[in-house]
Amino acid sequence: MKKYKSLFLPGVSLALVGMGISIAIEAGFWKWDGRPNEEWILLGTLGLCILNSGLSLFGEAVRRKIVEKLDSN
């Protein structure tokens, strides 16, 4: 199970980072298109939350990999 998580987390985390950046950029386009403030602010906030989740999971994946390497020595 540990091996599966160490393979799963980096891929999912990088996908979340990419999705969060894309959504945040789309919110910027919505702002300049003249959409109502509530719409682009909520979309941008969602994008930033997804981006932060991805970065957090990526940090966890790196931490797990380091601990796995230290335990094997």
pLDDT digits (tens, 9 = 90+) for 20-55: 999 999 999 999 999 999 999 999 999 999 999 999
Number of helices (H), then strands (E), in the chain: 2, 0
Confidence of residue 65 (pLDDT cuts 50, 70, 90): confident
- Structure confidence at residue 69 (pLDDT): 87
Residue 4 scores a pLDDT above 70:
no
Structure tokens at 61: 């994946």
The span from the CA of 59 to the CA of 45, in Å, is 21
Length of the chain: 73
Q: Cα–Cα distances in Å, from 68 out to 4, 7, 71? A: 13, 12, 5
- pLDDT above 90 for 72: no
* Unique residue bearing structure tokens 């941008």: 44
